Amino acid sequence: MPTIYIDSKPYEALAGKNLLETCLGLGIDLPYFCWHPALGSVGACRQCAVKVFKDAQDGTGRLVMSCMEMVKEGMRASVSDKDAVAFRAQVIEWLMTNHPHDCPVCDEGGSCHLQDMTVMTGHDYRRFRYKKRTYENQNLGPFLHHEMNRCIQCYRCVRFYHDYAGGKDLGVFAAHNHVYFGRETSGILESPFSGNLVEVCPTGVFTDKLLKEHYTRKWDLASAPSICQHCSLGCNIFTGERYGRLRQITNRYNSEVNGYFLCDKGRFGYAFVNDVNRVTRPLLRNQTIEAVDEAPLMKTLREMLSGEELIGIGSPRASIESNFSLIQLVGRDNFYQGLPEYPAYLSGKVAELVQSGALYVPSLKEIEASDAVLVLGEDIWNTAPVMALAVRQAVVRTAAAQAGKQSGLPAWHDLAVKEATQEKKGFLANLTVCPSPLDEEAAFSLRRAPDTIARLGFAIAHAIDPSLPSLPDISTAMRSIVNSIAGALRSAQHPVIISGVSCYNEGLIKAACTIAAALHTIGLRAGVAYVLPECNSMGLALLHAPSFDNATARVLSKPGVTAIILEADIYRTVAEKEADAFFDACKHIIVLDSMHNRTTQKAHALLPAAAFAETDGTIINYEARAQQYFQVLAPQQDIRASWKWLGKLKGLRAAAGNGQQVHPDEILQQLEQALPAFKGISRVAPSPDFRVHGQPIPRDPQRYSGRTAILANLTVSEPRPPQDTDSPLAFSMEGYPGIPPPALIPFYWAPGWNSNQSVSKYQQEPGGALRDGDPGVLLSGQAVLRLTGEEKPTAPPLFMDIPEAFEAREDRWLLLPQVHLFGSDELSSYTPGIRRLAPQPYIGLGEADATALGVIEGDDIFVWLEGKACSFPLAIRKGLCPGITLLPMGIPGIPVPQWGSWVKITLSEDAEEIRCPSKIF
């Protein structure tokens, strides 16, 4: 650790860092614009100038950009030197010569890095008397508002959008003092990571269009730490509330998970919480007035529960607290999943592997640091977007790190490293069913059927460890690819294999594990990440409940069962016929959900469940990382957390009727005791009675306004704010004003740092872990072993059951789901912008199949599902292997088919079965 002197005071600094991040890490305020911890330094804005001196005798020194200066032993620098201060003041004055008089109507205001830096440098009055430059703005689609006049030309936007996220359609136009940041023409930004521009841009050029619809300043938002609910990665987010509505989602830093960035589904997919389709009152069906009050509701529920046999259907999008409360209510033997047999089996398999302790499951950060990535089948761009972003960094960074090592450049020296790297890339092999934007970065991208990809996976394992079974029938061309991939994995230091369940193929899961096992024999610890469909799929899978098919069999064989269905629309996962059969056989149906859907229509009693922003809960991500989200909204009307409802039902069922309230942390403790797989989960966040110096953690910032006026129209004597007994957070601006434990940070703010850039004050060092460690508890087998200190690198299990090669059939197509980032997820699709970007129903076929059928893009063709012909326009999927057809998953208007089954495709509704002659492979 070099010792450096800043303004003559000695400090310990981290070697290899630049002076700017060192200063920020030491708590010294220094203004900057173009540097970003995830993007590195380019020295473009000239705002971070400091003086550096040759030695203790040097009184003159020289001005340098601190972001471009590496710390060295004995370095002497001055932040407060008067030349440096004057230089910085001048730079910001220049930047502001063209800046519009916009703060009052600018959505960035109050969380604006430019405001903060202007105040920090002391520039207050405009001396420049000439005219201001102006620009025309563009319409960038449903998520981002564009206001180019506010730009200060720091280049962060393109460096994120283009360099970091790989987007193609945002660039720099024109020259010198009138450069323009935007698209070539108005149009929807293509990258699903575009929403990050809101936070990356230090000014109000890119602002959140959803926030604009109900605009609230950051200082007026009550905020809470939360977890994204729209895929299995569990990105950390902040939720912001005002006037009882959810208003904004912003990134919450977690160095192990999402770092600084979210995907647009996570950032903008929250509109369902405010939607009119919410269930707000308990309903009892077949009554004149269906919405009921507590007393009649409880009476009916007591009747439904007493004496009847109960079964519960758990949910992959409800918290583990709710799922476990359901288990406590119905008993473990009566708890099922709302998934058909095969997908339930697949996620159970994944959970088993992750739990076993033999598999090393990498975090997103570890994936980012990997030097060889193999994707087996899973379309991660659509099923796990931020993981795709991490994989992209793995590819771009490994090469950069190598180039940097050769030329002695530090990793943060962005431009120089890029020059040194040129076109070199890290290793990625993307073996998937359909093309993906990740292919651009891939050394190998292949389009094959899932079975074939699984076989290639086994072939790769054989190429690594020849003692494993070989696949003699692979073509020579293929073999050379297999050998190159195997070679790249062997020579890597941190290889990562990614697969998942969205292909409905067990072979892929086994192949990924087998490759890791093969790498284990040559002493390499390979990471294996399995992507699951929903935010708490892992949590549900760890409960190892039987599938929906078993539940149906049970109610059919024994009528008179009361079914309790927890936050799941069965009609989205199970074919209509089967779901109907189940519901018809149940005597009573109690449904808990937040949105009205087809399942809630079947309910005899419907209980309004809280959405994620209205309650506390814990969900478990793909790597078995349990993370807690906290309530930010006081639920309206009769909405209550599912685990609270279920606790009440338990009270009804117990004759004594002790419906006493439990807290989420008590449920977690009971869960730990009941199921050893969840050992440690109660450490996920401090308990509700946690206090700092006797004070709770306030959700409202200190500048929160309107306390005595918000409800004054209803009653002028202010009612008491809602009391939160479930968490250490308070619905108030009173409480501990300092930095709370990482799991409880409700927003980022520091004196003088109003924007989200204040996150550096919460980190151990800029870009590092949060102080006291990142929140969340790993439940995976390896993590448990690591914790108990008995980690022995056990070998991942080997699988020998290699699937048969895929062969196209004469008259049937293998039906696979195409997951769409926008549209396939149930809850996020309530956001109008996401609905707009979601695809219309289609039937996807490869080029060869389309030619053979004699149809072109857009022609209506028929796919036979459950004996019925459904007509959708044809969408030609480039590279899709013949014999496979795709339907978009979760898009309204398409009946839920049996994925992975063989279906018929015809050109007309009553056409004879046509034969497809293109069966070449």
- Cα–Cα distance between 358 and 354 in angstroms, integer? 8
- Cα–Cα distance between 361 and 244 in angstroms, integer? 39
Q: Give whichever of 99 and 904 is closer to ligand FES, judged by the CB atom.
A: 99
- Cα–Cα distance between 620 and 593 in angstroms, integer? 20
**Residue 94 near another protein by CB under 8 A:** no
Q: Which tokens in the block code for residue 99? A: 């800046």
Q: Work out which of 54, 168, 178, 868 binds another protein, going by CB under 8 A.
A: 178
**Residue 108 near another protein by CB under 8 A:** no
Q: Residue 65's closest CA among 29, 97, 18?
A: 18
* CB-based contact 43:74 (threshold 8 Å): no
Q: Pick what 47 binds: ligand SF4, another protein, ligand FES, none; C-beta below 5 to 8 Å, kind-dependent.
A: ligand FES
**Residue 911 near another protein by CB under 8 A:** no
- Cα–Cα distance between 897 and 920 in angstroms, integer? 26
**Residue 668 near ligand FES by CB under 6 A:** no
Q: Give whichever of 177 and 407 is closer to another protein, judged by the CB atom.
A: 177
Q: Pick what 327 binds: ligand FES, ligand SF4, another protein, none; C-beta below 5 to 8 Å, kind-dependent.
A: none
Q: How far is the CB of 110 from another protein (least distance, A)?
A: 8
DSSP character for 803? P
- Cα–Cα distance between 845 and 447 in angstroms, integer? 13
Q: Pick what 48 binds: another protein, ligand FES, ligand SF4, none; C-beta below 5 to 8 Å, kind-dependent.
A: ligand FES
Q: Work out which of 65, 428, 429, 875 binds ligand FES, going by CB under 6 A.
A: 65
Q: How many CA atoms lie within 13 A of 763 on its CB side?
A: 22
What is the residue whose two structure tokens read 């149009």?
Answer: 187
* CB-based contact 898:890 (threshold 8 Å): no
**Residue 336 near ligand FES by CB under 6 A:** no
Q: Work out which of 13, 24, 39, 45 binds ligand FES, going by CB under 6 A.
A: 45
What are the two backbone dihedrals, phi and then psi, of residue 215, each rounded to the nearest 5 degrees? -60, 135
What is the residue whose two structure tokens read 């910032």?
Answer: 701
Q: Work out which of 32, 160, 219, 238 binds ligand FES, going by CB under 6 A.
A: 32
For the stretch 330-336, contacts whose Cβ atoms lie closer than 8 Å and that sit 24 or more positions apart, written own/partner, are 330/564, 334/309, 334/310, 335/311, 335/543, 335/545, 336/311, 336/312, 336/545, 336/546, 336/547, 336/548, 336/550, 336/551
Tell me, by CB under 8 A, how many residues bind another protein: 48
Q: Give whichever of 103 and 411 is closer to ligand SF4, judged by the CB atom.
A: 103
Instruction: Specify the length of the chain in residues.
Output: 921
Q: Work out which of 61, 100, 410, 768 binds another protein, going by CB under 8 A.
A: 100
**Residue 704 near another protein by CB under 8 A:** yes
Contact stretch for ligand FES (CB under 6 A) within 46-54, 348-356, 370-378, 580-588 = 46-54
Mapping DSSP to helix (H, G, I), strand (E, B) and coil, where does residue 309 land? strand
**Residue 868 near another protein by CB under 8 A:** no
Binding site residues, ligand SF4, CB under 6 A: 99, 102-104, 106, 108-109, 112, 114-115, 150-157, 181, 201-205, 228, 230-231, 233-235, 258, 262-263, 265-266, 385-386
* CB-based contact 618:684 (threshold 8 Å): yes
Q: How far is the CB of 678 from ligand FES (least distance, A)?
A: 45
Q: Residue 195's closest CA among 127, 264, 241, 142?
A: 264
Q: Give whichever of 154 and 227 is closer to another protein, judged by the CB atom.
A: 154
Q: Work out which of 109, 312, 348, 357 binds another protein, going by CB under 8 A.
A: 109
Q: Give whichever of 622 and 842 is closer to ligand SF4, judged by the CB atom.
A: 622
Q: Give whichever of 32 and 582 is closer to ligand FES, judged by the CB atom.
A: 32
Site for ligand FES in 586-625 (CB under 6 A): none
Q: Residue 568's closest CA among 312, 840, 285, 835?
A: 312
Q: Give whichever of 658 and 717 is closer to another protein, judged by the CB atom.
A: 717
Enumerate residues 6+ apart whose C-beta is below 8 A from 343: 501, 504, 533, 573, 899
Q: How far is the CB of 219 from another protein (least distance, A)?
A: 6
Q: Give whichever of 154 and 403 is closer to ligand SF4, judged by the CB atom.
A: 154
Instruction: For strands 49-53 and 884-888, give the pairing.
Output: unpaired
Q: How far is the CB of 123 from another protein (least distance, A)?
A: 17
Binding residues for ligand FES (CB under 6 A): 20, 32-35, 43-48, 65, 67
